């Protein structure tokens, strides 16, 4: 008889919100450290995430990952490790996002994109899972950098038309201006790219409502401050969110660790479900927050009393929110249906 934890681990899952450099495990960080500094390198000092209490501390950890993925070779190791680890966690469809970075005289933006796309497609095929890539626009870097990401994404789509599906709007939500980037997101969508945008991760009603009402996104990340009871302005943002019917990528551990929601039990995942609003569970940064997608399902089951049937349905409904083709979606649905048939006894025991 399976426990809930085992059920969550075995369930075929869909990951829609994972940042490459935030997803690096401790093992990968150590390996990359040795690659960079040589075998005699001192042990790497990885911050203790259990002490993390706010977004700023979390953003410091990205700096460490970035210092280690500063060459195409390192990025290839990082990408294949992350894809393999998601596959080992039972993820059957992964949408990975990353911010193209250049390192002077070592790596161009184009080489960054090439390393990630080549390795993501190669390792995805090796693991037998679907992998899509989104290039991230870092809101703190301004409009010119955002334009460069769009150009890179369009070029990458010509080379990897099945893997490169869209762009993501992310970066420190307290820095930069998402409203200034709306025309660019609109342009990206007009050119057939899909758009996933971080939204209302911190309190900013005007920005959140503008992003929702602009009609430029296909999915929204977090929406922490667009939920009932989340403070001033949250009610207006919540109404705007519900009007969009856009799927929300809910990242429980990320929000609790960053202190943007006070507890798991009070996470707006509950309100989204109660109002029948489309929602998918995601990890955000599995390395930084020391989690797995199985663990996020487990946390949802524990704190929101979800049955095995409801957990399965959560995964099944997430298929609709992917940026996969209709044919790919049907294949993933079949995988989930077959898995359910083969494991019916495990559903009944719960
Ligand atoms: C915790 N909530 C979050 N909110 C906003 N942006 C986030 C994020 N978590 C990650 N990122 C974005 O992803 C980058 C790291 O991966 P890549 O270098 O792109 O692969 C971070 O630098 C940040 O821009
Ligand atoms: Zn994110």
138 lines ligand 1 (CB under 6 A): yes
Atom from ligand 1 closest to the CA of residue 20: 20
121 lines ligand 1 (CB under 6 A): no
Pairing label, strands 248-250, 130-138 = unpaired
Cα 319 to the center of its chain, rounded Å: 15
Which amino acid residue places its CA nearest to atom 15 of ligand 1? 21
Rounded distance between C-alpha atoms, residue 143 and residue 176, angstroms: 9
Q: What is the pLDDT of residues 150-163, one digit of tens each?
A: 999 999 999 999 99
Rounded distance between C-alpha atoms, residue 144 and residue 56, angstroms: 24
Tokens of 32: 């990359």
Tokens of 139: 């809101």
Percent of the chain clearing pLDDT 70 (strictly above): 99
Angle in degrees, CA 347, 271, 266, rounded to 5: 90
Rounded distance between C-alpha atoms, residue 98 and residue 323, angstroms: 16
One-character DSSP codes across 308-347: HHHHHHHHHHHGGGSSS-HHHHHHHHHHHHHHHHHTHHHH
Q: In a mutational test of the pocket of ligand 1, which residue from 16, 19, 257 has the highest number of ligand atoms less than 8 Å from its CB?
A: 19
Rounded distance between C-alpha atoms, residue 246 and residue 242, angstroms: 8
Indicate if 201 belongs to the active site.
yes
For residues 185 and 146, the answer to whether their CB atoms sit within 8 Å is no
Which amino acid residue places its CA nearest to atom 11 of ligand 1? 171
For residues 160 and 117, the answer to whether their CB atoms sit within 8 Å is yes
Identify the band that residue 55 occupies on the pLDDT scale cut at 50, 70 and 90: confident
21 lines ligand 1 (CB under 6 A): yes
Instruction: Return the minimum-mean-pLDDT range out of 52-61, 101-110, 168-177.
Output: 52-61
Which amino acid residue places its CA nearest to atom 13 of ligand 1? 19
Tell the burial category of 98 from Cβ atoms under 10 Å away from its Cβ (0-12, 13-18, 19+): buried
Rounded distance between C-alpha atoms, residue 273 and residue 267, angstroms: 11
Any bridge partners for residue 131, and if so which? Answer: 94
Is 5's pLDDT higher than 90? yes
In the three-class reduction of DSSP (H, G, I as helix; E, B as strand; rest coil), residue 114 is classed as: helix
Atom from ligand 1 closest to the CA of residue 58: 1
Tokens of 53: 């209490």
Is 56's pLDDT higher than 90? no
3-state helix, strand, coil in the chain (%, to 5): 55, 15, 35
Identify the band that residue 51 occupies on the pLDDT scale cut at 50, 70 and 90: confident
Q: What is the pLDDT of residues 250-301, one digit of tens each?
A: 999 999 999 999 999 999 999 999 999 999 999 999 999 999 999 999 999 9
Any bridge partners for residue 280, and if so which? Answer: 249
Is 337's pLDDT higher than 90? yes
168 lines ligand 1 (CB under 6 A): no
Rounded distance between C-alpha atoms, residue 334 and residue 43, angstroms: 45
99 lines ligand 1 (CB under 6 A): yes
Q: What is the pLDDT of residues 85-141, one digit of tens each?
A: 999 999 999 999 999 999 999 999 999 999 999 999 999 999 999 999 999 999 999
Domains of the chain: 4-343 (3.20.20.140)
Atom from ligand 1 closest to the CA of residue 170: 6
Is 41's pLDDT higher than 70? no
Q: What is the ipTM of this complex?
A: 1.00
Atom from ligand 1 closest to the CA of residue 101: 18
Catalytic residue among 85, 123, 201, 203: 201
Instruction: Report the pLDDT value the prediction gives residue 47, as an integer from 0 to 100.
Output: 77
In the three-class reduction of DSSP (H, G, I as helix; E, B as strand; rest coil), residue 17 is classed as: strand
Instruction: Return the minimum-mean-pLDDT range out of 7-11, 104-108, 228-232, 343-347.
Output: 228-232
100 lines ligand 1 (CB under 6 A): no
Any bridge partners for residue 93, and if so which? Answer: 14, 130
């Amino acid at each position: 008889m399976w426990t809930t934890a085992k059920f969550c681990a075995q369930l075929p899952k869909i990951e829609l919100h994972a940042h490459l450099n935030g997803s690096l495990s401790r093992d990968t960080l150590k390996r990359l450290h040795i690659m960079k500094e040589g075998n005699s390198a001192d042990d790497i000092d990885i911050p203790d995430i259990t002490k993390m209490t706010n977004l700023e501390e979390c953003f410091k950890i990205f700096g460490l990952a970035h210092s280690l993925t500063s060459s195409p070779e390192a990025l290839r190791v990082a990408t294949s490790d992350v894809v393999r680890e998601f596959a080992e966690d039972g993820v059957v469809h992964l949408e990975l996002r990353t911010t193209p970075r250049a390192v002077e005289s070592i790596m161009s933006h184009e080489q960054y994109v090439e390393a990630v796309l080549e390795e993501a497609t190669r390792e995805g095929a090796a693991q037998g899972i679907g992998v899509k890539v989104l290039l991230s626009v870092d809101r703190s870097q301004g409009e010119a950098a955002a334009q460069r990401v769009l150009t890179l994404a369009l070029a990458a789509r010509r080379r990897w038309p099945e893997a490169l599906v869209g762009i993501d709007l992310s970066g420190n939500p307290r820095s930069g201006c998402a409203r200034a980037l709306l025309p660019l997101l609109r342009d990206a969508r007009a050119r057939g790219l899909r758009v996933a945008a971080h939204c209302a991760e911190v309190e900013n009603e005007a920005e959140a409502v503008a992003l929702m009402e602009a009609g430029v996104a296909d999915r929204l990340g977090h929406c922490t401050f667009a939920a009932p009871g989340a403070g001033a302005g949250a009610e207006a943002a919540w109404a705007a969110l519900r009007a969009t019917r856009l799927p929300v990528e809910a990242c429980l551990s990320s929000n609790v660790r960053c202190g943007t929601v006070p507890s798991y039990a009070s996470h707006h995942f509950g309100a989204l479900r109660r109002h029948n609003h489309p929602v998918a569970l995601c990890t955000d940064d599995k390395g930084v927050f020391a989690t797995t997608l199985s663990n996020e399902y487990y946390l949802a089951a524990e704190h929101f009393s979800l049955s095995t049937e409801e957990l399965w349905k959560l995964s099944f409904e997430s298929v609709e929110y992917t940026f996969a083709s209709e044919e790919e979606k049907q294949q993933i649905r079949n995988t989930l249906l077959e898995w359910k048939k083969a494991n019916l006894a495990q559903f009944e025991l719960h």
